[in-house]
A = this chain, B = another copy of it.
């Protein structure tokens, strides 16, 4: 079974540059590009689209709550129809920039607090599902594996790409240990690579309490803002390929 390696990029804004997008791109098979609501001014996004195409990556949209200052990580009680229309607006905006470079959006992955709301709150999952369905019903949505949101989106007739995280610890119910906790992150590159191989070959991860969780992911997320993110990503890819796993996008 092949697996996708995705990363969240295009997260610069104006003068504030996130420097090593390209270091991470070498190892990935797909990227989720910010759409202007948590990061990504139009010209910066266009450069990110070009960089992704240079690396032959599948480009997905990474829509967010409107929250530049909080980088889309602030939970917000928005009415579902606003969430729906905000996502549509962002999909269209990124699509136009992709189209100008001869490409098209291949998937949608909600960002930050919206990602978590899609996973855990059915009304938000439905709102995002309506946005995607009215934009392009064939577009897959990346959702946390074992989440209620994954079920809601599948029931709505959308293709779901189940996602697992390589550098985040899991609780035994399939949720992530919150970033506010000191043990939230997995930082050892060797351990990250081992988790990747186990997730790709057996579909499982060991939760923080020792429980073996079956996640059966289609795609594995690598964060780009950690230390040595590029080097970690290459190690993960090498480990996967060394274990005979094909790394490629678009596998549902």
Contact = CB atoms under 8 A, between A and B. Distances in A.
11 contacts: A13-B68, A14-B68, A14-B69, A41-B82, A41-B85, A42-B82, A42-B86, A74-B77, A74-B78, A100-B131, A100-B135
A82 B73 CA distance: 13
A181 interface: no
A13 B14 CA distance: 11
A22 interface: no
A88 B36 CA distance: 13
Contacts of A77: 74-76, 113
A187 B82 CA distance: 28
A240 interface: no
A81 B43 contact: yes
Contacts of A78: 70, 74
A16 B73 CA distance: 13
A68 B39 CA distance: 12
A42 B89 contact: yes
A42 B88 contact: yes
A100 to B, nearest CB: 4
A28 to B, nearest CB: 21
A71 B14 contact: yes
| Oligomer copy total | 4
A88 B96 contact: yes
* Interface SS of chain A: helix
Interface in A32-63: 36, 41-43, 45-46
Contacts of A85: 41-43, 45-46, 97
Given A14-B69, A69-B41, A82-B43, A97 B88 contact: yes
A232 to B, nearest CB: 20
A95 interface: yes
A91 interface: yes
Most buried by B among A36, A69, A113: A69
A68 B131 CA distance: 23
A38 to B, nearest CB: 9
Contacts of A94: 92
